[in-house]
Chains A and B, each alone.
Chain A
Amino acid sequence: MSEQHHSHDLPFWRKYIFSVDHKVIGIQYGISGLLFLLFGFCLMMLMRWQLAYPGQPLPVLGNLFSEKFMVGGIMLPEFYNQLGAMHGTIMVFLGVVPLAVGGFGNYFVPLQIGAPDMAFPKLNMTSYWVYFMGGVTMIASFFVPQGTAQSGWTSYPPLADIATVGQTMWLIGMVFLITSSLLGSVNFIVTIVQLRADGLSFFRLPFFVWAQFVTSFLLLLAFPPLEAAGVLQLMDRVAGTSFFLPSGLVVAGKPLTVSGGGNPLLWQHLFWFLAHPEVYVLILPAMGIVAEIVACNTRKPIYGYKSMVYSIVFLGFMSFIVWAHHMFLTGMGSKMSAFFQITTMIISIPSVIILTALALSLWGGSIRFTTPMLFATAFLPMFGIGGLTGLPLGLTASDIPLHDTYYVIGHFHYVVAPGTIFALFAGIYHWYPKVTGRKMSEILGKIHFFFSLIFINGVFMPMFIMGLAGVSRRLYDPMQYAHAQPTQPLNVFISICAWSLGLAQIPFILNFFGSLIWGKKVDRNPWESTTLEWSAPSPPPHGNFDHVPQVYRGPYEYSVPGQKHDFWPQDMAQEN
């Protein structure tokens, strides 16, 4: 192919750095996302020291921090709040979304639909570099005077409006990240609509592509309000406006000289109008990955493919009208809260359908317990716990004592950490052979899996007990409150589990890099899978396919009676 020749002529920096190839961009997104996940995890491990042993100097590492962050190894509340705000921001906007959408989406959507690239390759490159700028801004914000943002990842004004200069950096960083997501989402939508291979109708799309398709609409429609809100908050901070500041504020004993007349709740509405769909941006690609891996490793079609597709579309739609369940305690009227309680209960139904369908897909299969399958299987009960514990938070009455406690932290981390991040690990183990042409080690993979599963539950399960006891989140020193003291031993336990969870990632890191050199070489389809990405060479060349793919059937035709093999690829014309 002439395209292929063309790519060989490109200089290094065009081929691997400012590349327009969706696979290189996917890898760039993936590596950046993984590094940010590690960084965000390290921030959390620092916080866990202060929570387990409040006010005690952090051994060894404590001396490496400047007086701005730690004094004599003892963490300052300023630093604790910075760590909290940035852990959330980095994990969500710089870690999981770039890895799930930017990384997996970019690399595998074009391959799974049989396209040579994304619809707009240059836009794709722009999207990555805008994201990169956002990441650099966020990291740089640690080094401005008084440190980075410290008003939580939610940045509620007026606190965020009157915060130190790091908050301005946070807002600028967010504008970059949102812009990047918008560019990416338009590209995905056009690619999926326009570039599907011949014969690949919408109901023959792999579930992963459907998930990315719905996710792109969420990004496209939910992010602009937050971008607007971010600009408004920026104006409040630098241009003296008062979008979120009411009149008559007195800060530290002195009246605040602002024009006033604004409303702090406006920010919360705009923020959660994004941030609730954002939860589904985090979870839908994970569901897509799990569906692919479950189908492949049970050697049978997934249960109820069409109901899953309808459910995910409905889920995407509903995610736009549940946002105010994050705001039940802001004093909203009972009619409003009744509406949002009803929508919140309704949205649980499609989630239950998808989870049930994935679990029932196992029935009647011939299950191979490969490392990706272990992670994908663990996703089901972990996401299940996350979903179930949303129930007491979605009803206003039971939300009263649980709101803003560790119960909430446990709930959403079960959704995104042992939920989404496990699915992302599953995806890495599953598709690594396609990207590199080599398999990752199964032994290291299983060590990684079992220790991660144990310790991650050790981290999040005790949080439900703490939450029921009423321990609030974002407390620099939990020992200050009488009602938080009895659960302090749990804090120590959680911290030890969190650090152990960190150690449990070492086999993954070794495996990830070591398999590049020592991994077993594989050809196109090592898992004997049916979807289109497996009929391209491993790794796929520039332009992806060495033939023009033609699709004849649905995505999960495993164990079809009368076939010689137990998988029937989508693009295979004759019997297999």
Chain B
Amino acid sequence: MTKYYGWGLPYNASAYGAEIDRLIYVLHVFMILLFVGWFAFLLFTLFKFRSRPGHKAEYKHNHFKAPTYLEVGVALFEAVLLLGFSFPIARHVRALPPKGEAMEVRIVAEQFAWNVHYPGPDGVFGKTDIKLIGPANPLGLDRSDPAAKDDITAINQLHVPVNKPVIVRLSSKDVIHSFFLPVMRVKQDVIPGQNIPVWFQAKASGNFEIACAQLCGLGHYRMRGFFIVDEPDKFSAWLAKFAPKVAAPAPATAAAPVVPAV
């Protein structure tokens, strides 16, 4: 797995990730150039005007016009960053793909796991109720709801097909978490009481990870999940394997095989 991760930005498996990465590179080149230039000026000044016998300071309050130009330059550059990069990228990243095009999945975060909920073939998420929450049913999925019969649940593993937009609807059972897919350039706080959608499109398959980026308690450091991008046929096979047996009249708890926590 470590082949995806190193000392720079992680491997980019995201369709829109390149835009974000480009902005980060542009910013760092700018920052390094500005700092090196400015620092060289500082060192030169410190050397040139060091106190020594025969050298006297000059009585001057305002002896440069350059800073005004520098300020204007910085302001213009920042305007370019905002209008040319940040706003368009943010608009692209935030605008959800049309409903029919994208696959939808719910993730309900809790201390310290990611509960993944697929709507199943009918494309409708079944009802959930906090009264039904138990060790075997962490989502509180109501299996008596017709829409819930074909729903698929998993813990700590999110499988998605490659090259298809995916909308993840994020909510939390207890405290604030943050859903972080390093290779997908996705990070979104998960706020209890809110339902926040986030989307991405994987452009490469692989076995990646989900991290929690917001301190959520003692187990925050191990709130790790697997994020698996599959070729479409492998993804369908996975779905089929974990689909509940619809025919069986389901007792509320044992209906769906829940993927054990890893």
Contacts and interface: CB of A to CB of B under 8 A. Distances in A.
Contact of B1 (A249, A397, A482): A482
Interface in A508-535: none
Interface string A225-250: 00000000000000000000011111
15 contacts: A156-B215, A250-B130, A250-B174, A304-B62, A331-B188, A331-B194, A338-B87, A353-B67, A364-B57, A365-B58, A391-B27, A395-B23, A476-B220, A477-B222, A482-B2
B176 A264 contact: yes
Interface string A559-573: 111000010000000
Contacts of B49: 298, 362-367
A256 to B, nearest CB: 8
A10 interface: no
A298 B178 CA distance: 49
B59 A300 contact: yes
Interface string A527-565: 000000000000000000000000000000011110000
Between B5, B42, B52, B110, the greatest number of chain A beta carbons within 10 A of the residue's beta carbon is seen for B5
B78 A348 contact: yes
Interface string B128-171: 00110111001010000000000000000000000000000000
A506 interface: no
B35 A159 contact: no
A463 B1 CA distance: 22
B20 interface: yes
A248 B60 contact: no
A426 B70 CA distance: 28
B61 A304 contact: yes
A300 B57 contact: yes
B191 A330 contact: yes
Interface string A437-476: 0000000000000000000000000000100111011111
Between B60, B79, B133, B140, the greatest number of chain A beta carbons within 10 A of the residue's beta carbon is seen for B60
Nearest to A352: B74
Contacts of A305: 61
A298 B61 CA distance: 13
A523 to B, nearest CB: 22
B254 interface: no
Interface stretch (A16-24, A316-324, A401-409): A401-409
Contacts, number: 292
| Secondary structure of the B contact surface, majority rule | mixed
Nearest to A342: B82
Given A264-B193, A359-B45, A403-B187, A468 B9 contact: yes
Given A331-B189, A395-B85, A404 B42 contact: no
A345 B81 contact: yes
Interface stretch (A168-176, A207-215, A380-388): A380-388
A472 B59 contact: no
Contacts of B188: 329, 331
A262 B111 CA distance: 20
A375 to B, nearest CB: 14
A150 B220 CA distance: 12
B258 interface: no
A576 interface: no
Nearest to A556: B61
B192 interface: yes
Interface string A297-317: 011110111000000000000
Nearest to A159: B175
Contacts of B216: 159
Interface of A: 77-78, 81, 84, 150-152, 156, 158-159, 162, 246-253, 255-256, 262-265, 298-301, 303-305, 329-331, 334, 337-338, 341-342, 345, 348-349, 352-353, 356-357, 359-360, 362-369, 377, 380-381, 384-385, 388-389, 391-392, 395-398, 400-405, 465, 468-470, 472-478, 480-487, 490, 558-561, 566
Nearest to A385: B35
B221 interface: yes
Contacts of A480: 221-222, 224
Interface stretch (B98-106, B205-213, B231-239): B205-213
A392 B27 contact: yes
Contacts of B60: 300-301, 303, 364
A363 B191 contact: no
Interface string B92-130: 011000000000000000110000000000000000001
A41 B71 CA distance: 37
B101 to A, nearest CB: 21
A362 B45 contact: yes
Contacts of A156: 175-176, 214-215
B66 to A, nearest CB: 8
B10 A483 contact: yes
A77 B56 contact: no
A356 B182 contact: no
A145 B9 CA distance: 42
Contacts of B5: 469-470, 482-486
A256 B245 CA distance: 33
B192 A477 contact: no
Contacts of A478: 221
A419 to B, nearest CB: 14
Given A385-B35, A397-B90, A301 B59 contact: yes
A205 to B, nearest CB: 16
Contacts of A485: 2, 5
B19 to A, nearest CB: 7
